[in-house]
Structure 1
């Protein structure tokens, strides 16, 4: 039941993330990304909310975490069906998504199976949720037997129904699984010192990169900056907890030089989901962090070959499996570090530049990553991704030499 509750909670978080645009400012509804205020977008707020709430909830009782989680689920549902509108709705949805992620991470504790379920569900739904929406909306027949009538014109009945059904199961599962649970010791405030500035710095670098549409130097400089802050943040986290952040950043760098996650039709979406689950399962049973990082390096090399010779390598079908495997292999970690790290895949990959390539992409890791022309071409992206993955692998090797630290002792 604990694993099921984490799967459902993670799906709600990831599915909500997939609907949060990295271009939309939560301070001004008219701000475009050349405006500095657009840095305060939904993804940034999710990351900061998750960090702050995880530290606070880790110092509270399990009952408090359950209440916060269920309340956050309700807010996300209300925002999804259009009952909370405008900027207020965007703020509420982002803050609630972060709070739910934090509560779930705290309730998962250091139980590796629960952490793995939460992580894979967040990443899977976050990356594939847009594709799922597209497939639901493309169905010409009656998808559901009733319609959702919201206060906004852009409410998607399909997404709203899915969210209502999954959220209902989430609330029940969280209560049944954790109502008698005792929480682990509270988190150190060091989590706040890392987790609050991390997404803000990433947003600033994305804004700098997006402001130079015709040149590659600034974009690559921003990627270098993100690599530096990812490494710095990972070593500031207690013990070996930063390895998850390094791994997630490595996965995002690998995706820059590939065609991302295959999710163009029903078969590809199901295949990507199945590969995520399979990779997570094998990573749970046979966790080998360096094996996973080594395969990420091979995928990055394949991206370079594909960019140079223009020969498809099919890495979009392999990446979901390897991503899930290496992420699960990097667990366990403290709840605060888990809540801090999971949003990194969405906030630390220059997402605005990738997303802005086309408004038709299903997620920020779709085929437009390799076809846009206003930023570095595919070969440059592939080489940059390969370098970043290599650096992350070396950083992991250094980090793993440190002793493990139990949450609350540093």
Structure 2
């Protein structure tokens, strides 16, 4: 029994580290980025999404998945270690796609739900903690990273340490993973089409927003607005409903997560203790979601978080700060965990979606991908948000209404999917 517990713990640790490392690697700014660091090379993120989908769809042998997982770690490590060059974002995206896709494919065996929930916990924690971790890693603002003294040091020590720990966890699980049975194939054509569609959507939305921002010159005063990000909502909802059974529930849960965090990343987590608190809340959300899965309860909590975004002026802004720091990590992890398990391909594609679609607003990391945006120009960079008086700003109400309405639509879609018969019996508690 003790050995079984150790095996389960090792598997979960590997999944958590793989998901967390993927999110951090894809959010790390490239030293070769332009002064406008908010606009990375757009083709690298779709490459990550397509790689994740292809690997999770077609790679079914655990031994092969383990090898690709190690290769992904190696590719990210090379970029983090050597001097920067123009292809850095593409090598990192390829490595991160191999890492996430291979980890998603290692789902066979009696603990497949536990593994998928561990992978989801790692990705959600990485997405939420990207901005706070960057705050501690770099003293200069990200748009000036090329001019900071740290830019001359090519080695990313934090990411290298994270990769080393992930590789050690892989080695600890390697023998057992290589002897597992082959994962059965799912609906490959449908799952592959969904993954590619999301990748293409991310690229098109990036181009749309980039054109909108670059097209607003100093001669045209006043706010500029972009609403094409709303195309993400029907895309993910329809993809979730198109999948057989309840496989698409995790896609809908991810959409609710994106909508709830559209107000920005956890910028308030400015201390180590707050970071640890957010990580603990994510872990608690996954544990509770595993024991008592109630996706609609999680969606309601996410809707409350999105609604508090309207309170952006003192003293009411403290309500939103608490909601983002306390409610969002728990509710996001709980909702996603409650919607698992799914097939390997759908799980990998869903967990890659927040990174894939955040490029629509050119974010270096996750946390600034609302579906609609209002922006203007300063002397240095485009702004996607300001500090209006909350009760008098119409656009602020519209933006909040879009987020809450999206989450409500996710609730209806999840309710419809929950009426479908489950494709597999419930996993017994150990």
Name which of 23, 32, 54 aligns with 1:14. Answer: 23
Structure 1 distance, partners of 2:158, 2:278, is 20
Q: CA deviation at 1:301?
A: 2.3
**Greater shift in the superposed pair: 167-176 or 364-373:** 364-373
Over 3 Å counting, the alpha-carbon distance change for 1:137 and 1:210 in structure 2 is closer
Confirm or deny that 1:108 pairs with 2:110.
no
**Greater shift in the superposed pair: 386-395 or 2-11:** 2-11
Over 3 Å counting, the alpha-carbon distance change for 1:299 and 1:129 in structure 2 is closer
Over 3 Å counting, the alpha-carbon distance change for 1:32 and 1:73 in structure 2 is closer
- After superposition, residues 141-152 of structure 1 pair within 5 angstroms as none
Name which of 330, 339, 343 aligns with 1:330. Answer: 339
Any idea what the Cα deviations from partners look like across 1:161-181, whole Å, max 9, x if unmatched?
423432332331341441221
Q: Aligned residue for 2:389?
A: none
Contact 2:224 2:374 in 1 (8 A): no
Contact 2:250 2:350 in 1 (8 A): yes
Q: Aligned residue for 1:206?
A: 206
Contact 2:373 2:384 in 1 (8 A): no
Number of residue pairs the alignment of both structures matches: 376
Q: CA deviation at 1:78?
A: 1.2
Over 3 Å counting, the alpha-carbon distance change for 1:179 and 1:289 in structure 2 is same
Contact 1:258 1:315 in 2 (8 A): no
Confirm or deny that 1:270 pairs with 2:269.
no
Contact 2:223 2:374 in 1 (8 A): no
Name the TM-score, length of structure 2 as normaliser: 0.77
Contact 1:194 1:237 in 2 (8 A): no
Name which of 53, 56, 59 aligns with 1:54. Answer: 56
Structure 1 distance, partners of 2:281, 2:51, is 30
Q: Aligned residue for 2:135?
A: 134
Structure 1 distance, partners of 2:265, 2:75, is 34
Name the TM-score, length of structure 1 as normaliser: 0.81
Aligned residue for 1:184, secondary structure, equals: coil
Contact 2:246 2:417 in 1 (8 A): yes
Structure 2 distance, partners of 1:187, 1:170, is 28
Contact 2:21 2:163 in 1 (8 A): no
Q: Aligned residue for 1:360?
A: none
Q: Aligned residue for 1:144?
A: none
Q: CA deviation at 1:247?
A: 0.9
**Greater shift in the superposed pair: 126-135 or 192-201:** 126-135
Contact 1:31 1:38 in 2 (8 A): no
Q: Aligned residue for 2:363?
A: 355
Q: CA deviation at 1:32?
A: 9.4
- After superposition, residues 261-340 of structure 1 pair within 5 angstroms as 262-306=268-312, 311-313=317-319, 314-317=322-325, 318-340=327-349
Structure 2, unaligned runs of 5 or more = 1-9, 140-149, 217-221, 377-382, 386-394, 425-430
Contact 1:276 1:324 in 2 (8 A): yes
Structure 2 distance, partners of 1:30, 1:355, is 14
Contact 1:15 1:126 in 2 (8 A): yes
Over 3 Å counting, the alpha-carbon distance change for 1:378 and 1:307 in structure 2 is farther
What RMSD, in angstroms, separates the aligned Cα atoms of the two structures?
Answer: 3.5
Over 3 Å counting, the alpha-carbon distance change for 1:306 and 1:205 in structure 2 is same
Q: CA deviation at 1:56?
A: 1.5
